[in-house]
Amino acid sequence: MKIAALRPRRKHLTAVVTDSADEPFLVDTDLAEERLREGMELTDGELEELLRLSQERRAYERALYLLGFRDHSEKELKTKLSRLFGRDAADAAVCRVKELGLVNDTNYARAKAADLVNLRGFAKSRVRNELAMKGIDRETADAVLDEMDADPEEQIGAIIDKRFSPLPRDEKGKRRMMNYFLSRGYAWGDIRRALESRGEETED
C-alpha cells in the first residue's frame, strides 16, 4: 500500500491515509514524523509493526501522565492502560515505568496502607483487602502491615475519642457505632475490649 497523505490530528496523533484502505490509520505523531512520508510504500507487516509501536508509545505517555497525578500499583496501571491501548501495549508501558522506578508495589502498598490506617481508621484486615483490590499480592501486603505499629484497641480508642465521645447511650447510636467499626475491619473482640477499657459494658 502507498501512503497518500499524512494529516495531523488532536492529541499528538497523525492520520495515515493510504490508497488501499477506506479509513485512515491513527499513529503517534512523533513516530509518523520519524518513519513515514507521503508516497512511501508500506507492507502489511510494516503497518502492523508501526501500529504496535504507536500503541506502546501512547500507552507509555499515558502511564507517565497518570503517575504524575498519583502513585499506582502495577495491576491498577495495567488495567487502566489496557482499556485504551490493549494488553500488549499496557504490559510494555508498565515494564518501562517499572525499570525507571516509577512503579513499585511495595512502596505503593506501604504508602497506601499508612493512609488507610492513619487517615481513614481502617483495621489491618480491611487494609489487606483494600490492597488486594489494587493488585497487591498477599505476601507484599503482609510484609507491609507487619511493619506498621497499629494496635487495634488503640485505633478504636482514638476513633471513639474523635467520633463517638461521649459514647452513645441509645440502641440506635450504639448500633451505628458498632457498624462503623465492623465496616472498617475491626474484630468484635477488639471492639469489646476497647469499649470495656472506657467502662462500657458489652454483651456478646
pLDDT digits (tens, 9 = 90+) for 127-149: 999 999 999 999 999 999 999 98
Question: From the CB of residue 159, how many other CB atoms can be counted at a distance below 10 Å?
Answer: 18
Angle at which helix 188-196 crosses helix 152-163, to 10 degrees, equals: 60
The values of phi and psi at residue 5, to 5°, are: -160, 155
Enter the pTM of the model: 0.79
Percentages of the chain per state (helix, strand, coil), in multiples of 5: 60, 10, 30
pLDDT at position 149: 84
Q: Which ranges of 5-104 would DSSP assign to H, the alpha helix?
A: 29-35, 44-69, 74-85, 87-99
The amino acid at 101: G
pLDDT at position 11: 77
pLDDT digits (tens, 9 = 90+) for 43-88: 989 989 999 999 999 999 999 999 999 999 999 999 999 999 999 9
Query: Is the per-residue pLDDT at 203 higher than 90?
Result: no
Query: Is the per-residue pLDDT at 150 higher than 90?
Result: no
